[in-house]
Amino acid sequence: MDDSKIILASASPRRREILSAHALDFETVPSGADELAEAGSPRELSLENAVLKASSVARGIPNRIVLGADTVVALDGVVYGKPRDAADAFSILSKLSGRTHSVFTGVALARFDGAGLKVLKDAEESKVTFKALDADAINSYLNLVDVSDKAGAYAAQECGSAIIERIDGDFENVMGLPFALVKKLLDRFVSGL
């Protein structure tokens, strides 16, 4: 491994795509950390899971900066993660139909120096308004996009215009990694080393 590269603690193709698009030099080491299902607010949940992912990889690869991220969709205080199956995906999209929900992505940077773990974290929130969707529109979307690994059972970057009316905030956050926040945290993290 190249010690100058950061490590992305995720197997997400969307996160890899975003980092590559911004020409950030990185390697991928997916985290095997067990994610929390609840932890206070949706924002706190995304942060705690991001820290779990980053720190679990950092402990195994000392002296490297590890980036962990976790995205959750929340509506009326209920968190919608990845759907369990097709019926769950349909149910989630039905609940989001015609409503505005929040997308939180927690971002954590971690570095283990052999003695201790340094962690820096923050979260980004974007608001997404869905079109009013009937059963046919939902089924049509689910036939077009594999949502099995997507928080909230949708992907804004994949046929998103079929279901999304408006996004207020960072589009990359809705995709799963707000690069502007990552860059800000990296600058702070590196300057503090």
Residue that is written with structure tokens 């999304």 in the block = 164
Q: What is the pLDDT of residues 2-61, one digit of tens each?
A: 566 899 999 889 999 999 999 989 999 999 887 767 768 999 999 999 999 999 999 999
Given this model, what pLDDT does residue 7 score? 96
Q: State the catalytic residue, choosing from 3, 25, 34, 70.
A: 70
Q: In terms of Cα–Cα distance, which of 129, 124, 123 is closest to 167?
A: 129
Beta bridge partner(s), residue 167: 128
- Mean pLDDT score across all residues of the chain: 92
pLDDT(149) > 80:
yes
Of 157, 62, 78, the C-alpha closest to 111 is: 62
What's the average model confidence in pLDDT over 110-135?
95
Pair 101, 147: CB distance under 8 Å? no
Active site residue 70: yes
The pLDDT of residue 171: 96
